[in-house]
Amino acid sequence: MTVKEVLHSSEDKMKKTIEFVMRNFSEVRTGRANPSIVEGLHVDYYGTPTMLKQLAAISVPDAHMLVIQPWDVTAIVEIEKAILKSNLGITPSNDGKLIRLAVPALSKERRQELVKVVHKMAEDGRVSLRTLRHESKSLLEKLEKDKTVSEDDKFRGIDELQKMVDKYSARVEEILKNKEKEILEF
pLDDT value of position 33: 79
pLDDT value of position 186: 60
pLDDT value of position 2: 87
What does the angle CA 59 – CA 107 – CA 76 come to, to the nearest 5 degrees?
30
Tell which wins on pLDDT, 96 or 125.
125
For the chain, list the domains and their CATH numbers.
Answer: 3-27+107-184 (1.10.132.20), 35-102 (3.30.1360.40)
The band of 28, judged by pLDDT with boundaries at 50, 70 and 90, is: confident
β pairing state of 56-62 and 92-94? unpaired
Q: Is the pLDDT of residue 153 over 80?
A: yes
* CA 84 to chain centroid: 22
Q: Average pLDDT in the 167-186 region?
A: 90
pLDDT value of position 63: 81
pLDDT tens-digit map of 123-134: 999 999 999 999
Q: Average pLDDT in the 78-99 region?
A: 85
pLDDT value of position 138: 94
Q: Is the pLDDT of residue 171 over 70?
A: yes
Percent of the chain exceeding pLDDT 90 equals 45
pLDDT value of position 84: 87
Angle between helix axes 3-26 and 151-184 (nearest 10 degrees) is: 10
DSSP states of the chain as a string?
A: --HHHHHHHHHHHHHHHHHHHHHHHHTS--SS--GGGTTT-EEEETTEEEEGGGTEEEEEEETTEEEEEESSGGGHHHHHHHHHHSSS---EEE-SS-EEEE-PPPPHHHHHHHHHHHHHHHHHHHHHHHHHHHHHHHHHHHHHHTTSS-HHHHHHHHHHHHHHHHHHHHHHHHHHHHHHHHHH--
The band of 26, judged by pLDDT with boundaries at 50, 70 and 90, is: confident
Give the chain's mean pLDDT: 89
